[in-house]
Protein backbone atom coordinates (compact mmCIF):
# COMPACT_ATOMS: atom_id res chain seq x y z
CA UNK A 1 0.00 0.00 0.00
CA UNK A 2 1.36 3.39 -1.04
CA UNK A 3 1.80 6.02 1.62
CA UNK A 4 2.11 9.74 0.98
CA UNK A 5 4.53 12.42 2.18
CA UNK A 6 3.95 13.89 5.62
CA UNK A 7 2.85 17.52 5.48
CA UNK A 8 4.05 19.90 8.21
CA UNK A 9 1.90 23.00 7.84
CA UNK A 10 3.91 25.39 10.01
CA UNK A 11 6.88 24.97 7.67
CA UNK A 12 4.87 25.75 4.53
CA UNK A 13 5.13 29.28 3.11
CA UNK A 14 1.52 29.11 1.95
CA UNK A 15 0.47 28.52 5.56
CA UNK A 16 2.87 31.10 6.98
CA UNK A 17 1.69 33.74 4.49
CA UNK A 18 -1.90 33.29 3.36
CA UNK A 19 -1.37 35.02 0.00
CA UNK A 20 1.85 33.25 -0.95
CA UNK A 21 2.01 32.10 -4.54
CA UNK A 22 4.52 29.31 -3.88
CA UNK A 23 3.67 26.24 -5.96
CA UNK A 24 6.98 24.36 -6.07
CA UNK A 25 5.50 21.12 -4.76
CA UNK A 26 2.55 21.17 -7.16
CA UNK A 27 4.79 21.94 -10.13
CA UNK A 28 7.15 19.08 -9.22
CA UNK A 29 4.35 16.52 -8.80
CA UNK A 30 3.87 14.44 -11.99
CA UNK A 31 0.53 13.06 -10.79
CA UNK A 32 -1.38 16.28 -9.96
CA UNK A 33 -1.77 15.07 -6.39
CA UNK A 34 -1.00 18.39 -4.68
CA UNK A 35 -3.87 20.81 -4.15
CA UNK A 36 -3.00 24.40 -3.22
CA UNK A 37 -5.02 26.72 -0.99
CA UNK A 38 -4.63 29.76 1.25
CA UNK A 39 -4.40 27.35 4.19
CA UNK A 40 -1.41 25.50 2.73
CA UNK A 41 -1.62 22.33 0.64
CA UNK A 42 -3.46 19.02 0.60
CA UNK A 43 -2.17 15.80 -0.92
CA UNK A 44 -4.70 13.57 -2.62
CA UNK A 45 -4.28 10.04 -1.29
CA UNK A 46 -5.87 8.56 -4.40
CA UNK A 47 -3.59 10.41 -6.85
CA UNK A 48 -0.28 10.37 -4.92
CA UNK A 49 2.28 7.77 -6.05
CA UNK A 50 4.80 8.78 -3.35
CA UNK A 51 7.59 9.59 -5.80
CA UNK A 52 9.02 12.10 -3.27
CA UNK A 53 9.50 14.78 -5.94
CA UNK A 54 7.31 17.24 -4.04
CA UNK A 55 9.45 16.80 -0.92
CA UNK A 56 12.65 17.38 -2.89
CA UNK A 57 11.22 20.55 -4.41
CA UNK A 58 10.21 22.09 -1.05
CA UNK A 59 12.89 24.47 0.19
CA UNK A 60 11.41 24.63 3.70
CA UNK A 61 11.07 20.83 4.04
CA UNK A 62 7.37 21.10 4.77
CA UNK A 63 7.01 17.67 3.13
CA UNK A 64 8.76 14.53 4.32
CA UNK A 65 8.80 11.32 2.29
CA UNK A 66 9.11 8.20 4.45
CA UNK A 67 10.48 6.20 1.51
CA UNK A 68 13.40 8.63 1.10
CA UNK A 69 14.72 9.44 4.61
CA UNK A 70 17.51 11.78 3.57
CA UNK A 71 19.62 11.82 6.73
CA UNK A 72 19.54 8.03 7.16
CA UNK A 73 20.44 7.56 3.49
CA UNK A 74 23.34 10.02 3.80
CA UNK A 75 24.68 8.31 6.91
CA UNK A 76 24.77 4.95 5.14
CA UNK A 77 26.11 6.27 1.83
CA UNK A 78 28.86 8.40 3.41
CA UNK A 79 30.50 5.23 4.76
CA UNK A 80 31.00 3.80 1.25
CA UNK A 81 33.75 4.65 -1.28
CA UNK A 82 31.09 4.66 -3.98
CA UNK A 83 27.32 4.38 -3.89
CA UNK A 84 24.73 3.44 -6.50
CA UNK A 85 21.30 4.99 -6.30
CA UNK A 86 18.71 3.04 -8.28
CA UNK A 87 15.15 4.19 -8.88
CA UNK A 88 12.49 1.74 -7.71
CA UNK A 89 10.39 1.76 -10.94
CA UNK A 90 13.39 0.56 -12.99
CA UNK A 91 13.74 -2.55 -10.76
CA UNK A 92 17.52 -2.18 -10.89
CA UNK A 93 19.69 -3.09 -7.91
CA UNK A 94 21.73 -0.55 -6.01
CA UNK A 95 23.14 0.34 -2.62
CA UNK A 96 20.13 2.60 -2.09
CA UNK A 97 16.74 2.20 -3.77
CA UNK A 98 14.89 5.51 -4.08
CA UNK A 99 11.37 6.19 -5.39
CA UNK A 100 12.72 8.54 -8.08
CA UNK A 101 16.21 9.83 -8.81
CA UNK A 102 14.75 13.32 -9.04
CA UNK A 103 14.20 13.13 -5.29
CA UNK A 104 17.98 13.25 -4.72
CA UNK A 105 18.46 16.96 -4.17
CA UNK A 106 21.60 18.98 -4.84
CA UNK A 107 22.60 19.22 -1.17
CA UNK A 108 22.62 15.42 -0.80
CA UNK A 109 24.60 14.80 -3.98
CA UNK A 110 27.10 17.59 -3.30
CA UNK A 111 27.62 16.48 0.30
CA UNK A 112 28.51 12.92 -0.78
CA UNK A 113 30.76 13.80 -3.70
CA UNK A 114 32.57 16.49 -1.68
CA UNK A 115 33.58 13.70 0.71
CA UNK A 116 35.00 11.56 -2.06
CA UNK A 117 32.01 9.24 -2.44
CA UNK A 118 31.51 8.38 -6.12
CA UNK A 119 27.83 8.42 -7.04
CA UNK A 120 26.19 6.34 -9.75
CA UNK A 121 22.61 7.05 -10.81
CA UNK A 122 20.98 3.90 -12.20
CA UNK A 123 17.64 3.87 -13.97
CA UNK A 124 17.61 7.13 -15.93
CA UNK A 125 17.16 5.23 -19.17
CA UNK A 126 13.67 4.26 -17.94
CA UNK A 127 12.45 7.84 -17.47
CA UNK A 128 10.59 7.85 -20.78
CA UNK A 129 8.34 4.98 -19.70
CA UNK A 130 8.11 5.84 -16.01
CA UNK A 131 5.01 7.64 -14.64
CA UNK A 132 7.37 9.91 -12.68
CA UNK A 133 9.69 10.31 -15.65
CA UNK A 134 9.04 13.74 -17.14
CA UNK A 135 9.22 15.65 -13.88
CA UNK A 136 11.74 13.27 -12.32
CA UNK A 137 14.23 13.72 -15.15
CA UNK A 138 13.75 17.49 -15.13
CA UNK A 139 14.27 17.72 -11.36
CA UNK A 140 17.37 15.52 -11.52
CA UNK A 141 18.77 17.72 -14.26
CA UNK A 142 18.21 20.81 -12.14
CA UNK A 143 19.91 19.22 -9.13
CA UNK A 144 22.91 18.04 -11.13
CA UNK A 145 23.27 21.50 -12.62
CA UNK A 146 23.35 22.95 -9.10
CA UNK A 147 25.98 20.40 -8.00
CA UNK A 148 28.22 21.45 -10.87
CA UNK A 149 27.82 25.09 -9.85
CA UNK A 150 28.83 24.21 -6.28
CA UNK A 151 31.74 22.10 -7.49
CA UNK A 152 33.05 25.00 -9.53
CA UNK A 153 32.94 27.41 -6.58
CA UNK A 154 33.65 25.43 -3.41
CA UNK A 155 34.86 22.14 -4.86
CA UNK A 156 38.36 20.75 -5.14
CA UNK A 157 40.23 17.77 -6.52
CA UNK A 158 38.84 15.71 -3.65
CA UNK A 159 35.33 15.79 -5.06
CA UNK A 160 34.26 12.46 -6.54
CA UNK A 161 32.32 12.05 -9.76
CA UNK A 162 28.63 11.54 -10.49
CA UNK A 163 28.04 9.12 -13.34
CA UNK A 164 25.05 7.86 -15.27
CA UNK A 165 25.40 4.34 -16.77
CA UNK A 166 24.74 3.71 -20.43
CA UNK A 167 21.41 2.03 -21.15
CA UNK A 168 23.19 -0.93 -22.72
CA UNK A 169 25.44 -1.38 -19.68
CA UNK A 170 22.58 -1.58 -17.18
CA UNK A 171 20.26 -4.55 -16.96
CA UNK A 172 17.36 -5.15 -14.59
CA UNK A 173 18.75 -6.48 -11.32
CA UNK A 174 22.27 -5.19 -12.00
CA UNK A 175 23.48 -1.61 -11.84
CA UNK A 176 26.70 -0.92 -13.67
CA UNK A 177 29.20 1.89 -12.99
CA UNK A 178 30.46 4.26 -15.65
CA UNK A 179 33.16 6.66 -14.43
CA UNK A 180 32.77 8.88 -17.46
CA UNK A 181 30.82 12.11 -16.99
CA UNK A 182 30.00 12.72 -20.65
CA UNK A 183 26.59 11.08 -20.23
CA UNK A 184 25.87 13.32 -17.27
CA UNK A 185 26.32 16.45 -19.33
CA UNK A 186 24.72 15.11 -22.50
CA UNK A 187 21.59 13.86 -20.78
CA UNK A 188 20.96 16.30 -17.99
CA UNK A 189 22.92 19.54 -17.66
CA UNK A 190 20.85 22.36 -19.08
CA UNK A 191 17.54 20.52 -18.75
CA UNK A 192 14.99 21.41 -16.17
CA UNK A 193 15.98 24.96 -15.27
CA UNK A 194 13.72 26.65 -17.82
CA UNK A 195 10.88 24.29 -17.03
CA UNK A 196 11.06 24.42 -13.24
CA UNK A 197 12.30 27.94 -12.41
CA UNK A 198 9.37 29.96 -11.14
CA UNK A 199 9.41 33.77 -10.96
CA UNK A 200 8.23 34.94 -7.56
CA UNK A 201 5.08 37.00 -7.93
CA UNK A 202 4.48 40.12 -5.84
CA UNK A 203 1.25 40.92 -4.03
CA UNK A 204 -0.63 44.17 -4.49
CA UNK A 205 1.07 47.15 -2.83
CA UNK A 206 -1.06 47.52 0.28
CA UNK A 207 -0.52 46.92 4.00
CA UNK A 208 -0.41 43.23 4.87
CA UNK A 209 -3.29 42.38 7.23
CA UNK A 210 -2.20 40.68 10.42
CA UNK A 211 -4.38 37.66 9.70
CA UNK A 212 -2.45 37.04 6.49
CA UNK A 213 0.65 35.98 8.44
CA UNK A 214 0.45 33.01 10.78
CA UNK A 215 3.16 33.02 13.42
CA UNK A 216 5.13 29.87 14.17
CA UNK A 217 8.54 29.23 15.67
CA UNK A 218 11.50 29.52 13.26
CA UNK A 219 13.30 26.34 12.22
CA UNK A 220 16.33 25.15 10.29
CA UNK A 221 16.40 22.55 7.53
CA UNK A 222 18.74 19.61 7.03
CA UNK A 223 19.38 20.58 3.41
CA UNK A 224 20.43 24.11 4.34
CA UNK A 225 22.77 22.83 7.04
CA UNK A 226 24.40 20.49 4.51
CA UNK A 227 24.95 23.41 2.15
CA UNK A 228 26.47 25.51 4.91
CA UNK A 229 28.97 22.74 5.62
CA UNK A 230 30.04 22.94 1.97
CA UNK A 231 30.16 26.73 2.03
CA UNK A 232 32.49 26.69 5.03
CA UNK A 233 35.06 24.86 2.90
CA UNK A 234 35.14 27.52 0.20
CA UNK A 235 38.53 28.99 -0.81
CA UNK A 236 39.33 32.58 0.04
CA UNK A 237 39.50 33.67 -3.60
CA UNK A 238 36.32 31.98 -4.81
CA UNK A 239 34.12 33.46 -7.50
CA UNK A 240 30.54 34.42 -6.55
CA UNK A 241 28.06 31.54 -6.65
CA UNK A 242 25.07 32.31 -8.89
CA UNK A 243 21.67 32.00 -7.25
CA UNK A 244 20.13 28.72 -8.42
CA UNK A 245 16.57 27.37 -7.93
CA UNK A 246 17.87 23.98 -6.74
CA UNK A 247 20.25 25.48 -4.18
CA UNK A 248 17.99 26.27 -1.26
CA UNK A 249 19.90 29.35 -0.22
CA UNK A 250 19.80 32.97 -1.33
CA UNK A 251 21.16 36.37 -0.44
CA UNK A 252 18.45 38.97 0.09
CA UNK A 253 19.06 42.58 -0.87
CA UNK A 254 17.04 45.72 -0.26
CA UNK A 255 16.33 48.84 -2.27
CA UNK A 256 15.31 52.22 -0.82
CA UNK A 257 11.71 52.51 0.33
CA UNK A 258 11.39 50.13 3.31
CA UNK A 259 8.40 51.12 5.45
CA UNK A 260 9.54 49.13 8.51
CA UNK A 261 6.27 47.19 8.55
CA UNK A 262 8.15 44.06 9.73
CA UNK A 263 5.99 41.74 7.59
CA UNK A 264 9.08 40.05 6.10
CA UNK A 265 10.46 39.12 9.51
CA UNK A 266 7.08 37.85 10.73
CA UNK A 267 6.57 35.69 7.64
CA UNK A 268 10.12 34.29 7.38
CA UNK A 269 9.95 30.62 8.44
CA UNK A 270 13.63 30.15 9.33
CA UNK A 271 14.44 33.39 11.12
CA UNK A 272 16.79 34.54 8.36
CA UNK A 273 14.91 37.86 8.33
CA UNK A 274 14.70 39.26 11.84
CA UNK A 275 14.15 42.46 13.83
CA UNK A 276 16.48 43.76 16.50
CA UNK A 277 15.43 46.60 18.75
CA UNK A 278 16.96 48.63 21.52
CA UNK A 279 15.66 51.60 23.43
CA UNK A 280 16.81 53.96 20.68
CA UNK A 281 17.23 51.93 17.48
CA UNK A 282 15.41 49.50 15.17
CA UNK A 283 17.18 47.19 12.70
CA UNK A 284 16.07 44.77 10.00
CA UNK A 285 18.69 42.04 9.73
CA UNK A 286 19.35 39.15 7.36
CA UNK A 287 21.32 35.99 8.19
CA UNK A 288 22.44 34.14 5.09
CA UNK A 289 23.26 30.89 6.90
CA UNK A 290 19.56 30.47 7.77
CA UNK A 291 18.03 31.46 4.42
CA UNK A 292 16.53 28.63 2.34
CA UNK A 293 15.51 30.83 -0.58
CA UNK A 294 11.76 30.25 -0.14
CA UNK A 295 11.06 33.83 -1.23
CA UNK A 296 8.20 34.54 1.17
CA UNK A 297 9.94 37.73 2.39
CA UNK A 298 9.99 39.04 -1.19
CA UNK A 299 6.33 38.12 -1.65
CA UNK A 300 5.12 39.76 1.53
CA UNK A 301 7.09 43.00 1.04
CA UNK A 302 4.45 45.53 -0.03
CA UNK A 303 6.78 48.34 -1.14
CA UNK A 304 8.59 45.64 -3.21
CA UNK A 305 12.04 46.66 -2.00
CA UNK A 306 13.30 43.19 -1.02
CA UNK A 307 14.80 41.04 -3.75
CA UNK A 308 17.09 38.07 -4.31
CA UNK A 309 20.56 39.06 -5.44
CA UNK A 310 21.88 37.35 -8.55
CA UNK A 311 24.96 36.04 -6.76
CA UNK A 312 25.86 34.75 -3.31
CA UNK A 313 29.21 36.06 -2.13
CA UNK A 314 31.30 35.33 0.98
CA UNK A 315 29.36 32.16 1.70
CA UNK A 316 31.52 30.83 4.53
CA UNK A 317 31.87 34.21 6.20
CA UNK A 318 28.16 34.90 6.35
CA UNK A 319 27.39 33.58 9.82
CA UNK A 320 26.94 37.09 11.19
CA UNK A 321 23.71 38.91 10.33
CA UNK A 322 23.77 41.75 7.81
CA UNK A 323 21.82 44.90 8.61
CA UNK A 324 19.53 45.64 5.67
CA UNK A 325 17.77 48.67 7.12
CA UNK A 326 18.14 50.69 10.33
CA UNK A 327 16.11 53.49 11.89
CA UNK A 328 16.46 55.57 14.98
CA UNK A 329 13.49 55.63 17.31
CA UNK A 330 11.47 58.82 17.72
CA UNK A 331 9.51 60.03 20.75
CA UNK A 332 5.85 60.92 20.33
CA UNK A 333 5.08 64.50 21.38
CA UNK A 334 1.63 63.47 22.59
CA UNK A 335 1.96 60.14 24.45
CA UNK A 336 5.75 60.26 25.01
CA UNK A 337 6.20 56.72 23.66
CA UNK A 338 9.07 55.73 21.39
CA UNK A 339 8.14 54.65 17.87
CA UNK A 340 9.71 54.04 14.48
CA UNK A 341 8.77 55.70 11.23
CA UNK A 342 10.43 55.73 7.81
CA UNK A 343 10.22 59.54 7.90
CA UNK A 344 10.42 62.10 10.74
CA UNK A 345 7.08 62.47 12.53
CA UNK A 346 5.82 64.26 15.63
CA UNK A 347 3.20 61.71 16.68
CA UNK A 348 3.27 57.92 16.80
CA UNK A 349 0.96 55.84 14.57
CA UNK A 350 -1.39 55.16 17.50
CA UNK A 351 -1.94 58.83 18.19
CA UNK A 352 -2.26 59.55 14.50
CA UNK A 353 -4.90 56.83 14.30
CA UNK A 354 -6.77 58.33 17.23
CA UNK A 355 -6.85 61.69 15.45
CA UNK A 356 -8.14 60.08 12.27
CA UNK A 357 -10.87 58.22 14.20
CA UNK A 358 -11.92 61.40 16.03
CA UNK A 359 -12.15 63.33 12.75
CA UNK A 360 -14.21 60.61 11.08
CA UNK A 361 -16.71 60.61 13.96
CA UNK A 362 -16.98 64.28 14.80
CA UNK A 363 -15.73 65.90 11.62
Q: Can you count the helices (H) and strands (E) in the chain?
A: 12, 17
pLDDT at 18: 93
Q: Is the dihedral of CA 310, 248, 132, 109 positive or negative?
A: positive
Give the count of beta carbons closer than 10 Å to the beta carbon of residue 214. 17
> Which three-class secondary structure state does DSSP give residue 285?
strand
pLDDT at 20: 94
Comparing CA positions, the residue from 351, 349, 353 lying closest to residue 334 is 351
pLDDT at 362: 59
CATH number 3.40.50 given to 210-328? no
Partnered with residue 119 across adjacent β-strands are 83, 162
Report the alpha-carbon distance of residue 30 to residue 12 in Å, rounded.
20
pLDDT at 274: 95
Q: Is the dihedral of CA 140, 145, 150, 152 positive or negative?
A: positive
Q: Do the domains spanning 1-67 and 210-328 agree at the CATH topology level?
A: yes
Helix (H) or strand (E) holding 114: helix 106-114
pLDDT at 199: 40
Comparing CA positions, the residue from 110, 85, 5 lying closest to residue 52 is 5
Which positions ≥6 away from 308 have C-beta within 8 Å?
200, 243, 250, 251, 252, 253, 293, 295, 298
Residue ranges of the chain whose pLDDT lies below 50: 168-205
- Looking at 3.30.1180.20, 3.30.70.600, 3.30.70.20, 3.40.50.2000, the CATH number of the domain 1-67 comes to 3.30.70.20
CA angle 324, 326, 332 (to 5 degrees): 150
> Where are the domains positioned within the chain?
1-67, 68-198, 210-328
Report the alpha-carbon distance of residue 341 to residue 333 in Å, rounded.
14
Amino acid sequence: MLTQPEYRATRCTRYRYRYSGCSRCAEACPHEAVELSDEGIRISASACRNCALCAAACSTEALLADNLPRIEVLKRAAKLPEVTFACAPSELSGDEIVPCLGGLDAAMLAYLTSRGVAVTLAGTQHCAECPHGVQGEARLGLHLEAVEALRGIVGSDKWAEISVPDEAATEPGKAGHDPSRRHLFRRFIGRGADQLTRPISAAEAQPVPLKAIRFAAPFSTAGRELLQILFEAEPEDHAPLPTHPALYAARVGIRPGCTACEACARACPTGAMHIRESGTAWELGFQFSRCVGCGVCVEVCQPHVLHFQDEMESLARASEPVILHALGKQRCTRCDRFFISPAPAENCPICEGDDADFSSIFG
